[in-house]
Every structure is written in structure tokens, then in C-alpha cells.
Structure 1
Amino acid sequence: MSTQTQIDPQSVPTRTLNTGSKMPAIGLGTFGSDHVTNETVAEAVKAAIDIGYRHIDCASVYGNEAEIGAALKEVIDAGKVSREDLWITSKLWNDKHAEEDVLPSLRQTLADLQLDYLDLYLVHWPFPNFHAKGCDVDSRSELAKPYINENFMKTWRQMEKAVELGLVKNIGTSNMTQAKLEVMLPEAKIKPAVNEMEIHPHFQQQELYDYVVSQGIQPVGFCPIGSPARPERDKTAEDTVDTEDPVLREIAEKHGLHPATLCVKWAEQRGQIPIPFSTNPRNMAANLASVVGDPLTDEEMEALSKIDKNCRLIKGQVFLWKDDQSWEDLWDLDGVIAQ
């Protein structure tokens, strides 16, 4: 690895969570879908650590935690980093929401990643789906179930127990709407430290973002530059953020950045934690370098705030409702939460 592609990890901003933990303000996503092999993702993790990344965002459903675990062991054993230098996130999949499944699923993740603890563990989706494990499943499966707060809190109690047992340092939610959080938060003994959600310049989720911040919860944004490798079921909109957007291109050119890298820089400066996925060391280095470079001006941030297209790319594991409802109807249908 050329020293030209290395960024001092100490120069990377951090976010202080409501637990007091300091989380690196940019991470490497590891969702490669079926377009990238597990081995390629594992190599990307090693390259990212060499470049200066210390935050790796994983999930059991990605199917590559064993390979990532081997990569983490390799770099730790080689003395490149210590376990304490790293921030490792993973997520509880939808078919493991039952009280008796949460801790065993977590322990399997720890075994696969070859770690004694996680820095952050998230409930991947608020919907408890019981289909076959995998990201290419039909989201309208009859086996998918709606969000019911009483049931979700049973899952959350086990997440809290994981903290008590020292298996995880922080817990959080992912893909939660404001309506669900409003019902869930008063009952939580441990408040979520983060809410991970889709955020990019063309899908800024300002209302949800502001609510999460107001509750002292750190927003983490996936798909910061889009998601060309997402499942086919979700491809009803463009695959990536429109890098030909004139506002993006003009500001990117001023800063000597690719428009995609500008999306990452915007995300970090806005206050969220972006987790871009890449297997290209040059792109990984550009993304990391962007968050330690000169900031965007207030005028540039204001201009970028105006290019939101409300364009959701990841439709998610929503539940079967009525055939005549749209994806958006399904996603936003929060009337079931009080059951």
C-alpha cells in the first residue's frame, strides 16, 4: 500500500454517542450483495484498515462475517491495529427477533467475526420477517409480519441484556421511522445510541433526521452515494445518486472531488456517519480523505440541502398489507405500532 493512500486515523472526526462512546464519523460498509464475493469484501476490509479506516459496518445477513472475521484477525495478529483501535458494528437479522434467538444470533456473529465484543449492535429492520435468510427475498412474502411495539420491545430487552453481559458496548436501531421511535423510546431502558437509515443528497430524510438528533441519537447513513448493487426488487429508481446533478458537479469541481466523494463529505459535515461501500482502494482513500479535508462552505451546504428528490433506493423488508398499496404506503404505514 502506497503511503500516498494512507490517512492518519487520528485525523478522522468522531461522534460522541449518548453512551459516551466515540464512534468514527465514517465507516466502510460491507454489503456486497451477490455482485461481490465474500473474499473480495474481506480484502476490502484489510485494504481499508491499511488506508486508515477504523470503523467497519457488518451484518449477519450479508453472509460474509466469517470472511471479515478472518481478515480482522489477520490485521490484528500482524500488529497493524489492536482490537481497541477498531469500531465494529453488526446487526440482528429479521428472522432472529424472538427473545430466545437474539443472544444466540449475536454470539454467532461474534464467533464469525472472531471477536469478544461488538462496539455496536443494531436491530437491522423493525419488521420481524420469517422467510429464508437472504437479501433477495420477495419483500411481500406472506410470512413477513408488521411492526408491533410490544413484540419489538421483547427483542429490545434482549439487546439491553447483551450490553449487561458485556457482549456489546452500544445498541441501536436501523430503518426505524419517527412514529415507531416515538412509541419505542419511552419504554427503552437503554436508549438507542444510533439509528442507521438511508441518507444521501437525493434522499435526505430531514424530518426523521432532525427528530433522531433531537432525541440524542446519532444518525448513521447507508447508501451515501446510492446503491447500484442493491437487490433487484428495489430497482425502481436510479441505481446511484445522479452524479450529473449540476449542483453536485459544480461544488465537487471547486473542491477537486468526484461528485460521489462529495456526497460522502456532505454527509459527514452534515453530522451523520456515512458508511460507503467500495472494494477499490483508491475510492476508499478518496472517501476517507474527503472528511478530513477543507470543509464545504455554508452556502455550499445550503445548496446541497435543496437537491433532495425524496428518492428512496432501499425499499426494505416491508410486510404484506393490501395489493393496491404502493411501496411508500407500506413503508410508512405506522398505524400498527400500538398493538
Structure 2
Amino acid sequence: MPAIGLGTFGSDHVSNDSVAQAVKQAIDIGYRHIDCASVYGNEAEIGDALAEVIASGKVSREELWITSKLWNDKHAEEDVIPSCQKTLSDLKLDYLDLYLVHWPFPNFHAKGCDVSSRSAEAKPYIHANFMKTWRQMEKLVEMGLVKAIGTSNMTEPKLKLLLADAAIKPAINEMELHPHFQQQKLYDFVVSQGIQPVGFCPIGSPARPERDKTADDTVDTEDPVIVEIAKKHGIHPATLCVKWAEQRGQIPIPFSTNPRNMLANIQSLVTPKLSDEEMEALSKIDKNCRLIKGQVFLWKEDQTWEDLWDLDGTIAQ
């Protein structure tokens, strides 16, 4: 799995065609890892871009690592395989390198309800139901439609249950990871189980959906420790966040449609390493500041993100 990927969640503020163009530019620059999801609503356009660059001979399918994700309203046993097949059709691919369960609980949006809005139809995580979904994910591997399967936004209690029951354990867990939200306990557990951590929002996601912004939020690139270390290395603070992520051992998937920023992000992986002292300083700026707050997944008006998300290590049933 390439050490850095291009995220493609941008259709809430960037056109699908712009995201597809970014995919082509990223591949020209040297990216070989593209992180997609059906809910982003742009896989058809990305598929056209992938088909174009493969047909041009610039890159072969085998050189690319393409990830996609099963959305929350497709957890039913009968929906998993058709959903993956729809993604493959949209992306114009015969197989995926990695397919993830996007969130560990089902969420059913009312007809015409935008996925970025609050929904009263979300349901809590129930492990027996999740395992029915996971068994179908395992079948996708057996069918040759995907090379590997994994999880996204899973917490330690849920992962422990899954690891105990899965025939094929998750290859990766994709989760929000940046200097202000390092999730060290979960990160350490994931690594200890041989699961590769993949981090979204590696630069703090300043363009995240409005639903997730609050007055007390700070963006990582404004942190004085990050700014000082970045200045010392002669790189942009955002680039430093990507470098920190890769050096820590996680795979960052920053989103950008700017070729200059894409190049800076991928070049950060081959610039001189941060010192132990600098890594230590960055470890101390963790604010436990979750930027993707998940208000869309609350199933009761008075429940919080933590109620949904394994408060005190318990699982909502």
C-alpha cells in the first residue's frame, strides 16, 4: 500500500469534475493511491479519469492502489456485494485493492436528505448485525472483487469484537488522525494487531463540512509548534502535518485539487526526517480535537457523539 494517498472527499465544496481532474494530476505527479467512497458521489467521474490515464499508458492498473467504501445504508447482507459491484462499475475497474466499511453502524437517510445533514434514522452499532455485513465483505475477497477489506472509523471495543469473530481480519482502519487528534490509545491498539492505520484530515481539514465546525475549533496548520518546526525545515505547516503522519507510521490521505500542494505533500515523504525532539514536541500538542464530529449519525436528538461512540468502552445495543 503506497505511503500516501489522495483523498477524494471534496464534492461538498468542489465539483466532481474538479476531483476527477485532481486524480489525473495526482497520478501525473506520482501518486498511486486514490481513496474513494460511494457516498462522495464522484466515483463515476473518477472512473472516467482512471480509465483515461490507464488507456494513455501513463500507468497500469496494477500500479494503482484504489480504495472505496461501503456506505451506511448498504449494510444489509443482500446489499453489500451489489454495492461493491456498483462502485466497480462506476470506477471502471475489475477489482478494488481495498474495500472498507465506511462507518461501523447503519445510517438510513430519508429520501432527498443530504448526507451532510442530521438524520433521525441512524441506528446504533449491534455487533451481530455488523458481522453479517462483514461476512459479505469476506465473500468479496473470495470472489476476487477486492484484494483486501478493512474498517473505517472503528473504535477499540468494536475492533476487539470484530477480531475475535472475523475469518479475514481488517487490513487497515481508516480514522481521523492529525496533530490535534492523535488518538494514541486507539492508534497503538491498531498497530499492535497488525492493522495499518490510515489517517484522514491529516492537515486538520479546514474545508470540512460546515456541520462539523464550531467556534472553538483550531486548524493544525495554525498551531505555533507546527508553524515553528515547519519554518525550521523550510516547508509549509500543512506539509509538515503530512510528514509527521508518515513518519509516525500512518498513511495520510490529504485532499487537494492544487497540483503544487499535491507535489509538496508527496515530496514531504522524502525530505529529511523530523528529529526525535521535534516528534516529541508534536506529540504534546494533541488537543483531542475531533474535527469530523459526526452529528449526522446521532439517532436521538439528545445523544452526543460519545454516546454513539463507545463511551467508557461500552457498545450501544
Q: Which bracket does the TM-score occupy, shorter chain normalised?
A: over 0.9
Structure 1 residue corresponding to 2:274, chosen from 280, 296, 300:
296
AA of the residue aligned to 2:270: V
Inter-CA distance 168–283: structure 2 relative to 1 (3 Å threshold): same
2-structure distance, mates of 1:73, 1:269: 32
Secondary structure in structure 2 of the residue aligned to 1:195:
strand
Match of 1:137 in 2: 117
Structure 1 residue corresponding to 2:161, chosen from 178, 183, 189:
183
Q: TM-score, normalised by structure 2?
A: 0.95
Output one character per residue of 1:70-124: Cα deviation in whole Å (capped at 9) or x when no partner: 0000000000000000000000000000000000000000000000000000000
User: Runs of 5+ in structure 1 lacking a partner?
Assistant: 1-22
Match of 1:209 in 2: 187
Match of 2:89 in 1: 111
Output one character per residue of 1:225-263: Cα deviation in whole Å (capped at 9) or x when no partner: 022332222112566623232211111111111001100
1-structure distance, mates of 2:201, 2:108: 25
2-structure distance, mates of 1:240, 1:287: 21
What are the residue-to-residue correspondences of 1:66-81 with 2, within 5 Å? 66-81=44-59
Match of 1:330 in 2: 308
Secondary structure in structure 1 of the residue aligned to 2:281:
helix
AA of the residue aligned to 1:115: L
What are the residue-to-residue correspondences of 1:47-196 with 2, within 5 Å? 47-132=25-110, 134-138=114-118, 141-196=119-174
AA of the residue aligned to 2:247: Q
Per the TM alignment, residue 44 of structure 1 is displaced from its structure 2 partner at its CA by 0.2
Inter-CA distance 115–240: structure 2 relative to 1 (3 Å threshold): farther
Residue 244 of structure 1 pairs with residue 222 of structure 2: yes
Match of 2:257 in 1: 279
The answer (yes or no) to whether the contact 1:221–1:272 under 8 Å persists in 2 is yes
Output one character per residue of 1:196-243: Cα deviation in whole Å (capped at 9) or x when no partner: 000000000000000000111000000000223322221125666232
Match of 1:225 in 2: 203
1-structure distance, mates of 2:155, 2:24: 34
AA of the residue aligned to 1:137: S
AA of the residue aligned to 2:265: N
Output one character per residue of 1:35-90: Cα deviation in whole Å (capped at 9) or x when no partner: 10000000000000000000000000000000000000000000000000000000
The structure carrying a bigger helix percent of its residues is: 2
Secondary structure in structure 2 of the residue aligned to 1:304:
helix
Residue 259 of structure 1 pairs with residue 259 of structure 2: no
Secondary structure in structure 1 of the residue aligned to 2:257:
coil
Secondary structure in structure 2 of the residue aligned to 1:118:
coil
2-structure distance, mates of 1:269, 1:73: 32
Match of 2:8 in 1: 30
Inter-CA distance 104–30: structure 2 relative to 1 (3 Å threshold): same
Per the TM alignment, residue 322 of structure 1 is displaced from its structure 2 partner at its CA by 6.0
Match of 1:3 in 2: none
Secondary structure in structure 1 of the residue aligned to 2:12:
coil
The answer (yes or no) to whether the contact 2:298–2:304 under 8 Å persists in 1 is no
The answer (yes or no) to whether the contact 2:26–2:259 under 8 Å persists in 1 is yes
Per the TM alignment, residue 184 of structure 1 is displaced from its structure 2 partner at its CA by 1.4
1-structure distance, mates of 2:261, 2:217: 18
The answer (yes or no) to whether the contact 1:116–1:167 under 8 Å persists in 2 is yes
2-structure distance, mates of 1:296, 1:250: 13
Match of 2:298 in 1: 319
AA of the residue aligned to 1:100: E
User: Runs of 5+ in structure 2 lacking a partner?
Assistant: none
AA of the residue aligned to 1:194: I
The answer (yes or no) to whether the contact 1:318–1:331 under 8 Å persists in 2 is no
The answer (yes or no) to whether the contact 2:11–2:19 under 8 Å persists in 1 is no
2-structure distance, mates of 1:33, 1:233: 15
AA of the residue aligned to 2:206: P
Per the TM alignment, residue 295 of structure 1 is displaced from its structure 2 partner at its CA by 0.8
AA of the residue aligned to 1:45: V
AA of the residue aligned to 2:172: V
